[in-house]
Amino acid sequence: MSEKRPKDENHHLAKMIVMMLILSLVPLGAVGYLSLQDEKTIGLGAANDAQVMGEQIIDDSTLALNTLGAQVIQQKAQDVARQIEIYLADHPEATVTDLQNDTFFSTIAVQPVGQTGYTALTDVDTLICRFHKNPKLVNSDLHNLNASLPGSGALCHRAKAESPLMATMTGKNQMGPCGKVHVHRNCKCHNRR
């Protein structure tokens, strides 16, 4: 009988060890599984947050660059307007035709702005373009521009009323597709015919 007891004790000891392992490994496995699931959720949440932050940064940067671009364009328009005022003060008798034949004045009137932009001069009262990078548009009536550049008609009417005027349009003009067209009215050359 004494031999049977150790076998029973060993058997009970083995059962207890198995039970202890089961009781400790099952919760450990469950916690591990839940941790992995939580890790995936946290990872997806972090990725989503990073995407939202990236989009916000892009939006903020785009707004800042557009604002800066508009300021550069406005400053260029003001500088050109001032240069024109100075030139006209020195040439009070010059007519529009005289000015159009004056290459120096033309270089003042039509100047590059950034990589793709340029200045142009239009008679605000008649909406006749007097100086433009595209020679086809010189002396053209901008009332007709609305067909190729929607919104320009309303803008032209605003240009008559507001000084200075700042506006932006998007569309296609006679020189081809264009992104945004920034319009500034800064000076008016009175009584030049």
Task: Determine the pLDDT at residue 181.
Answer: 54
Angle at 96 between CA 125 and CA 167, to 5 degrees: 40
Task: Please check whether residue 126 is in contact with residue 135, taking contact to mean a CB–CB distance below 8 angstroms.
Answer: no
133, part of any domain:
yes
Backbone angles phi, psi at 150, to 5 degrees: -55, 140
> Does a structural domain hold residue 102?
yes
The pLDDT score that the predictor gives to residue 103 is 95
Chain centroid to Cα 134, Å, comes to 26
- The count of domains in the chain is 1
pLDDT digits (tens, 9 = 90+) for 151-184: 666 666 666 655 554 545 444 444 444 445 555 5
Residue 57 lies in a domain: no
Q: Does residue 4 fall inside a structural domain? A: no
- Considering the domain boundaries, does residue 128 fall inside one? yes
- The answer to whether residue 193 is domain-embedded is no
In a domain, 33, yes or no: no
Please name which of 193, 139, 179, 182 lies closest in space to residue 159, comparing C-alpha atoms.
Answer: 182
Domain span holding position 98: 78-185
pLDDT at 98 over 90: yes
Q: Is residue 52 part of a domain?
A: no
pTM: 0.60
**Strand pairing category for 128-131 and 121-123:** antiparallel
